[in-house]
Amino acid sequence: MKINAGNLKKGDFISYQGEIWQVQKADFYSPGKGSALMKTRIKNLISGKNVDYTFKSNEDVEIMEVEAVEVQYLYKDEENLYFMNERNFNQFTISLKVVGEMANFLKEGERYFIYLWQDKPLALRPPMSVKLKVIETEEAVKGDTVTGAKKPAKIETGVIVMVPLFIKKDDVIMINPETGEYVQRVKS
């Protein structure tokens, strides 16, 4: 299906130079003179490489019809993440290059959504947030309450994130997996 580039939005999958890309960022730009433009950052779903590309807003772009399927995260190795559809037991592999840093915040056994195109896995749909347990952090020093002060904390996936001083070992915290930033403490 073809659409005008001026209608592209973040998350769309497009065919570009014979490969499948996902739009990471799309900004409409009208210079005043001449035709309007759509400045995009697109990610190649095979190499994981990001490219900045500017389309003319009236240029036709091939949109890929993609399906989101709920899967269970099984495990990862040096190169890939492995998922299973619990309904039909089909297993899917997605490259760590495509998922990027978000892979550091995925918990084995949890359910996520992946995008499929012609039954081939393309990418992982980023969850809005993930809940993870703090397994190691320093105790806050009494009186050390500078506004916005943070300290490092190791979470159950083995990653270090910066958290507010009041977070303690065994607290469950919410993290934005796209940025790796602390969002809030979760009541357990």
pTM over 0.85? The answer is no
What is residue 145's predicted lDDT score, i.e. its pLDDT? 59
Question: Both 6 and 59 in a single domain?
Answer: yes
- Residue 112 CB coordination number (10 Å): 20
What is residue 57's predicted lDDT score, i.e. its pLDDT? 85
Question: Both 139 and 170 in a single domain?
Answer: yes
What is residue 188's predicted lDDT score, i.e. its pLDDT? 62
What is residue 33's predicted lDDT score, i.e. its pLDDT? 80
Whichever domain contains 84, its CATH number is 2.40.50.140
- 3 state SS of 6: helix
Rounded CA-CA distance 168/152 in Å is 11
What's the first-to-final CA gap in the chain, in angstroms? Answer: 46
pLDDT in tens, the chain (188 residues): 898 888 899 889 999 888 889 999 999 988 888 888 999 999 887 777 889 999 998 889 999 888 889 999 999 999 999 999 999 999 999 999 888 889 999 999 999 999 998 888 988 988 889 999 999 998 876 655 556 688 999 999 999 999 999 999 999 999 999 889 999 999 86
* Structural domain range at position 77: 67-125
Say how many residues make up the chain. Answer: 188
Question: Both 147 and 115 in a single domain?
Answer: no
Rounded CA-CA distance 21/53 in Å is 12
The residues near 145 (Cβ < 8 Å, ≥ 6 apart) are: 165
What is residue 118's predicted lDDT score, i.e. its pLDDT? 86
* Nearest CA-CA partner of 165 in 135, 136, 141: 141
Rounded CA-CA distance 15/71 in Å is 25
Rounded CA-CA distance 128/177 in Å is 7
Question: Both 134 and 121 in a single domain?
Answer: no
Whichever domain contains 20, its CATH number is 2.30.30.30
